[in-house]
């Protein structure tokens, strides 16, 4: 209640990006205080053997991750990994440093518990982020999300991604190819079958044919079902290690009549679409590679639906902003109570229950 009644009203007095910087400044300062991370862990972490599992060869202490976009510089990883998350995905990182799009570029829709962003992959670039990660003591699961630099032509996308991954992979447990952000011109065209085949094949060639850590692909929710099916089949043929469903959407119809801000919509309105994509993916992939479900998850009940649809792991972002820092603990405790009540020994047993009966 502290967040909802006191902190959130203060933060929401600021524009969204300023509020984000204000909150993250606290972590930058606090990281210099001895025992800070131990204090965070004692407050926010929730531990249960029922929540622990292995996905893509990686041990996750719990299934709730922080989605890419919150920790764009990787500087906050040491703090957030102690705030109840089973994993933290940093980025999106590009090969070249870029400031992102002009401000304002992040907008709240409080009634719908949604955000629209057109950030444009603002980040320090792969070289600087690698330097940041090198100095950190790594505790917990860290994902690296990479996208194409805005100034890099589409035909040079492969070399751009390879450069980023070569710099960042040594500090990651898994990597994500982001071809689904709506805020980099032309990026989503890389989701076509031919472009995607060339991109993934090229990235693997950059590592002598074998990518050194699990490699995931993140898709947009605006694909047609046919496109989604084709891309999922392609993921199997290209021997990718998993998929993330979904990124933000360009569909603003849930917000009512416009005009609306340009950019990608995230949060509560995206949940049903992401849930349906996860369910479809589970039926196609049949457990051969894992699914990370993301989009509009802001409660334990929604998290449970995502697992029952077929997600092996979930990630949160917009829900974290609206519901506050106890959301990972709230979700984990809800899932644990559900499993205890129904005599379920592990979260993996829930995955796909609803999709399997279709």
Give the 3-state secondary structure of 15-77. CHHHHHHHHHHHHHHHCCCCCHHHHHHHHHCCCCHHHCEEECCEEECCCEEECCCCCCCCCCH
Compute the distance between CA of residue 66 and CA of residue 57 in angstroms, rounded to an integer: 19
CB 145 within 8 A of CB 129: no
Q: Is residue 356 scored above 70 in pLDDT?
A: no
**What is the reported pLDDT for 183?**
67
Please, where are the H alpha helices in the chain? 2, 8-11, 16-30, 36-44, 77-80, 126-135, 157-168, 193-205, 225-237, 271-285, 300-309, 318-323, 327-341, 353-356
Q: Is residue 357 scored above 60 in pLDDT?
A: no
Ordered by where they begin, the domains of the chain are 44-356 (3.20.20.70)
User: In which residue are the tokens 């993140």 written?
Assistant: 218
Q: Is residue 291 scored above 70 in pLDDT?
A: yes
DSSP 102: P
State both tokens at 265.
Answer: 């919509």
Residue of 181, 266, 279, 355 marked active site: 181
Q: Among 30-39, 63-72, 208-217, whose mean pLDDT is lowest? A: 30-39
Mean pLDDT of 340-350: 97
- What percentage of the chain exceeds 90 in pLDDT? 75
- 316 φ/ψ angles, rounded to the nearest 5 degrees: -125, 155
Closest residue by Cα to residue 316 from 297, 300, 331, 332 = 297
Whether 181 sits among the annotated catalytic residues: the reply is yes
Mean pLDDT of 23-47: 85
**What is the reported pLDDT for 22?**
87
- Collapsing DSSP to helix, strand or coil, 216 comes out as strand
Q: Is residue 44 scored above 60 in pLDDT?
A: yes
**What is the reported pLDDT for 33?**
81
Residue 47's alpha-carbon distances to 83, 179, 324, 331, in angstroms, are: 12, 34, 19, 12
Please, where are the H alpha helices in 188-270? 193-205, 225-237
- Would you call 97 exposed, middle or buried from its count of C-beta atoms within 10 A (0-12, 13-18, 19+)? middle
Compute the distance between CA of residue 181 and CA of residue 101 in angstroms, rounded to an integer: 13
**What is the reported pLDDT for 154?**
87
User: Could you report the per-residue pLDDT of 48-107, keeping only the tens digit for each?
Assistant: 999 999 999 999 999 999 999 999 999 999 999 999 999 999 989 999 999 999 999 999
Tell me how far apart the terminal alpha carbons of the chain are, to the nearest angstrom.
Answer: 39
305: confidence class by pLDDT, cuts 50, 70, 90:
very high
Q: Among 18-27, 54-63, 307-316, whose mean pLDDT is lowest? A: 18-27
CB 329 within 8 A of CB 44: yes
The whole-chain average pLDDT of the chain stands at 92
DSSP 318: H
Compute the distance between CA of residue 57 and CA of residue 282 in angstroms, rounded to an integer: 19
User: Could you report the per-residue pLDDT of 101-152, keeping only the tens digit for each?
Assistant: 999 999 999 999 999 999 999 999 999 999 999 999 888 999 999 999 999 9
Angle at Cα 222 formed by Cα 169 and Cα 200, nearest 5°? Answer: 30
DSSP 312: S
355: confidence class by pLDDT, cuts 50, 70, 90:
confident
Q: Among 146-155, 283-292, 311-320, 339-348, whose mean pLDDT is lowest? A: 146-155
180: confidence class by pLDDT, cuts 50, 70, 90:
confident
H or E element that contains 300: helix 300-309
Q: Among 179-183, 204-208, 246-250, whose mean pLDDT is lowest? A: 179-183
**What is the reported pLDDT for 192?**
80
Q: Is residue 5 scored above 80 in pLDDT?
A: no
- Collapsing DSSP to helix, strand or coil, 78 comes out as helix
pTM to 2 decimals?
A: 0.94
């Amino acid at each position: 209640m502290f967040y909802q009644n006191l902190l959130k009203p203060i933060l929401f007095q600021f524009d969204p990006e300023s509020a984000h910087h204000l909150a993250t400044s606290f972590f930058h300062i606090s990281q210099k205080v001895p025992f800070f991370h131990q204090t965070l862990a004692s407050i926010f972490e929730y531990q249960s053997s029922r929540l622990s599992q292995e996905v893509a060869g990686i041990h996750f202490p719990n299934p709730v991750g922080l989605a890419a976009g919150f920790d764009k510089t990787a500087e906050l990883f040491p703090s957030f990994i102690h705030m109840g998350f089973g994993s933290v995905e940093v980025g999106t990182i590009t090969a070249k440093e870029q400031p992102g799009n002009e401000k304002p570029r992040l907008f709240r829709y409080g009634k719908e518990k949604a955000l629209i962003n057109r950030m444009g992959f603002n980040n320090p670039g792969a070289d600087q982020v690698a330097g940041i990660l090198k100095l950190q003591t790594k505790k917990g699961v860290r994902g690296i999300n990479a996208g194409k630099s805005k100034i890099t032509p589409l035909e040079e996308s492969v070399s751009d991604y390879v450069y980023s991954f070569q710099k960042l992979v040594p500090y990651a447990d898994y990597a994500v190819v982001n071809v689904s952000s709506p805020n980099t011109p032309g990026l989503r065209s890389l989701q076509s079958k031919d472009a995607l085949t060339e991109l993934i094949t090229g990235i693997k060639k950059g590592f002598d044919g074998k990518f050194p850590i699990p490699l995931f692909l993140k898709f947009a929710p605006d694909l047609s079902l046919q496109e989604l099916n084709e891309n999922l089949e392609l993921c199997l043929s290209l021997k990718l290690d998993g998929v993330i469903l979904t990124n933000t959407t360009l569909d603003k119809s849930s917000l009512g009549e416009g005009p609306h801000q340009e950019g990608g919509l995230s949060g509560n309105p995206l949940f049903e679409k992401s849930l349906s994509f996860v369910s479809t993916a589970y039926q196609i992939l049949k457990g051969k590679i894992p699914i990370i479900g993301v989009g509009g998850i802001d409660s334990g009940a929604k998290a449970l639906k995502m697992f029952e649809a077929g997600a092996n792991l979930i990630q949160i972002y917009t829900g974290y902003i609206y519901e506050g820092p106890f959301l990972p603990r709230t979700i984990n405790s809800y899932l644990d109570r559900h499993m205890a009540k129904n005599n379920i020994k592990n979260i993996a047993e829930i995955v796909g229950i609803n999709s399997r009966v279709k």
